[in-house]
Structure 1
Amino acid sequence: MMSLLMYICVIAYVGFVLFMVSGLFKHTELDVRSYDRLPNVSVVIAARNEEDHISNLINDLIVQEYPLDKLEVIIVNDRSADMTLSILNEASDNYAFIKIISIDKLSKEMTPKKNALSKGIKSAVGEIIVLTDADCRVGKLWVSSMAYSVMNQNSITIGFSEISSENNSLFNRYQRVDFLSIIIANAGFSGWGFFWSGTGQNLAFHKSDFEKIGGFEKVSNRISGDDMYLVQSISKIKTGYVQIDPNSFVKTSPMDSLNSFFDQRVRWSSNAKLNFYNEPLFFSFLLITLSYNLLILISFLIGSSWVGLISFKLLLDGIIIFLGGKLFNRKMDLIAYCLWGILQPIYIPIIGIWGIRGKFNWKP
């Protein structure tokens, strides 16, 4: 019985890997062409207790190479208890295109992040909405690149995001590999037209499409998963596009502790069960990934052929990350990758099970 399960897991995993790898080759960078009319763009950011990061993002946004009469930045201060609001007010006083919305109390109808984004998007005058997080850094052409892809493809644009490399500790290098693997897997499936997820650190779409899907009303009680919901819902009424232009890339801060890293990954995995009905193929991929890693762990505990299983998985995952890295012009960190691959059989089952149980902490 164990041998049969092993063969099923391995064959299914190989099938998904081949599917992902072939999907990576389907992405092409857009040809840049001029427009007679540049769209009005609204950048929307939800911020809660981000005094350590928000100034850096504001500094990036005020130097965007996009006409200021076509750009607005809406930052929603969500009940911050630190100096975030003071920093935002100063920025708004100095730059007319930066607008601040303050939320003083929890909403009874919607969870905090979705409520903040909803208020920001609702007040936006731009026909195109671009989202990022308060702890991110963006380049000068970020708005131009993301808005251009939405206009050109008439789709929701899924941007690339990565963990900042300023801190080169092994823990942060591990996080970069882990996050890159998620981005690459998403890009692989997207190449075949399966737009299952994205990151709220870098998304762009028409405001009218957000309104067509009813905003976040269908998932108003979900703590996380706003980005996954947007990608899945909008791509169904239009399509999706993965932006591979380096000008559109975003950097985000790493988690500063194992506890915060664990909570973040569990929070992300808590949305997996929603895909059982919404995206069964996506759910199947997540289930096979969990099963393969569990199989390695069980084989190790009973003294079975775990070395062959983990070696084969390291090879397959390495191919995906190497090829995906070439797509996004990112080199593979071999040491961090080996550590990541060896820990997967422990990390994935724990994250998956805790996610199903909803056992995580986040900003209240």
Structure 2
Amino acid sequence: MEFNILEICLLTALAFCFFVHLYYVLGVHLKLATYRLEELPAASNEPISIIICARNERENLEKFLPSIFAQDYPNFEVVIVNDRSWDGTIYLLEGLEKKYPNLKVVHVREGEKFIAGKKFAVTMGIKAASHEWLVFTDADCEPASVNWLRGMQRPADNDVQILLGYSPYFKKRSLLNALIRFETFFTAVNYLSFALKGMPYMGVGRNMAYKKSLFFKSKGFAAHMHIPSGDDDLFVNANATPSNTIIQIHKDTHVWSEPKRSFLAYLRQKKRHVGAGNFYKPKHKFILSAQIAIQFAFYALVITLACFPNTHFIAVGVFLLSLIVRCFVYPKLLKRLNYGELRWWFPILDIILMVFLVFNAILSIFVKKVAWK
């Protein structure tokens, strides 16, 4: 069988995309799939300050705070920053302060100077924290167990300054929810795997921890205070190193969160994330952009070559080989990261996610305005 010049070029491009894609699957993500989970520490080391920023979150605070205070950890405080709420949050917190002696409330009033979205609230919470080790989560989050803090406590290795956790979304019956959870899975696999590979580039504020001294030593969010988002991933991107960052994915340390209920709300959320990603270190932007571009090009080339009589069998064969390799890695990861039921829909969700990521990237070019809440 002879191929013309166009077919040879397309097949060469497909082979290149295939092997680069294999690098991300087998060279990066496989590290997380084979990562050995250790038992949680039986003892607690140092006191912890949990920081939660809330803006009109009365209902969620009432629902999820009991699981925070129920943690099996002897010495911790909960710092809640009420960021200009008008839904009655202040009255709820006044009552909770009488119930929980280890609750500390910080109020951000209307008219505060230098307010820049969530980052101002986070900074106020960190300043109010009494302890060196800070654990972060959100008002709409619920720890998977009472052992969450035992797993997120400061590691014995004093060189570790950042601990990256994992936060899945609650399951709902909808295609949007499946997409949100699968995208969250893909994001988590990426940042956790790259951290294991020695290139930590982001964390998720729903479940992460770092030293208070690191925050002030690096001047907090000063470098990107003008950006509404990025209180979590941009801080990690700027300060994480191969030696000062570790991960924690034990099932007891997962923090469950409420997903967006509408596609528009989800788009706004992802727009914020894309906006923060534009300020990552150049090497991180290149690797992450190349990852999406290569995957998109791979699908496009498979579809194109499948339309050619001489190459359709090769295109289908390469796609099936890629699928077999990925099905060796990702279903195991889906189960490990509490999304086991999605493994049966993996091939379909993978394609839907790719289309969505491309759509969101294009949308972010034209829609610039973002806000926390």
Give the TM-score taking structure 1 as reference length. 0.86
1:319 CA displacement:
3.9
Task: Tell me which residue corresponds to 2:229.
Answer: 224
CA RMSD of aligned residues (A): 2.9
Task: Tell me which residue corresponds to 1:206.
Answer: 211
State how far apart, in whole Å, the 1-side matches of 2:193 and 2:176 are.
Answer: 26
Kindly indicate whether residue 58 of structure 2 is the aligned counterpart of residue 90 of structure 1: no
% same residue:
24
1:335 CA displacement:
4.8
1:312 CA displacement:
5.8
How far does the alpha carbon of each residue in 1:216-274 deviate from its partner, in whole angstroms, 9 at most, with x for none?
Answer: 11111111122112322332395211102222110001110011112212221222322
Q: Is the 8 A contact 1:293 1:348 kept in 2?
A: no
One-letter identity of the residue aligned with 2:288: F
Kindly indicate whether residue 161 of structure 2 is the aligned counterpart of residue 155 of structure 1: yes
State how far apart, in whole Å, the 2-side matches of 1:282 and 1:16 are.
Answer: 15
Task: Tell me which residue corresponds to 2:25.
Answer: 17
Kindly indicate whether residue 220 of structure 2 is the aligned counterpart of residue 215 of structure 1: yes
Task: Tell me which residue corresponds to 2:332.
Answer: 323
One-letter identity of the residue aligned with 1:284: I
Task: Tell me which residue corresponds to 1:254.
Answer: 259
- Please, which of 177, 181, 191 is the counterpart of residue 176 of structure 1? 181
Kindly indicate whether residue 104 of structure 2 is the aligned counterpart of residue 99 of structure 1: yes
Q: Is the 8 A contact 2:183 2:353 kept in 1?
A: no
Kindly indicate whether residue 247 of structure 2 is the aligned counterpart of residue 242 of structure 1: yes
1:136 CA displacement:
0.5
Who wins on radius of gyration, i.e. which is larger?
Answer: 2
How far does the alpha carbon of each residue in 1:137-193 deviate from its partner, in whole angstroms, 9 at most, with x for none?
Answer: 01312122201447677331111110112x233332232222112111222212211
Kindly indicate whether residue 45 of structure 2 is the aligned counterpart of residue 38 of structure 1: yes
One-letter identity of the residue aligned with 1:62: F
- Please, which of 51, 56, 61 is the counterpart of residue 54 of structure 1? 61
One-letter identity of the residue aligned with 1:28: R
- Please, which of 137, 149, 152 is the counterpart of residue 143 of structure 1? 149
One-letter identity of the residue aligned with 1:44: I
Unaligned stretches of 5+ residues in structure 1: none
- Please, which of 133, 141, 144 is the counterpart of residue 128 of structure 1? 133
State how far apart, in whole Å, the 1-side matches of 2:191 and 2:361 are.
Answer: 18
Distance 1:282 1:313, change over 3 A: farther
One-letter identity of the residue aligned with 1:174: L
Q: Secondary structure at the match of 1:352?
A: helix
Distance 1:161 1:106, change over 3 A: farther
Kindly indicate whether residue 342 of structure 2 is the aligned counterpart of residue 333 of structure 1: yes
State how far apart, in whole Å, the 1-side matches of 2:229 and 2:327 are.
Answer: 29
Give the TM-score taking structure 2 as reference length. 0.85
Distance 1:19 1:256, change over 3 A: same
State how far apart, in whole Å, the 1-side matches of 2:263 and 2:233 are.
Answer: 24
- Please, which of 347, 357, 364 is the counterpart of residue 355 of structure 1? 364
State how far apart, in whole Å, the 1-side matches of 2:127 and 2:260 are.
Answer: 31
Unaligned stretches of 5+ residues in structure 2: 1-8
Task: Tell me which residue corresponds to 1:29.
Answer: 37
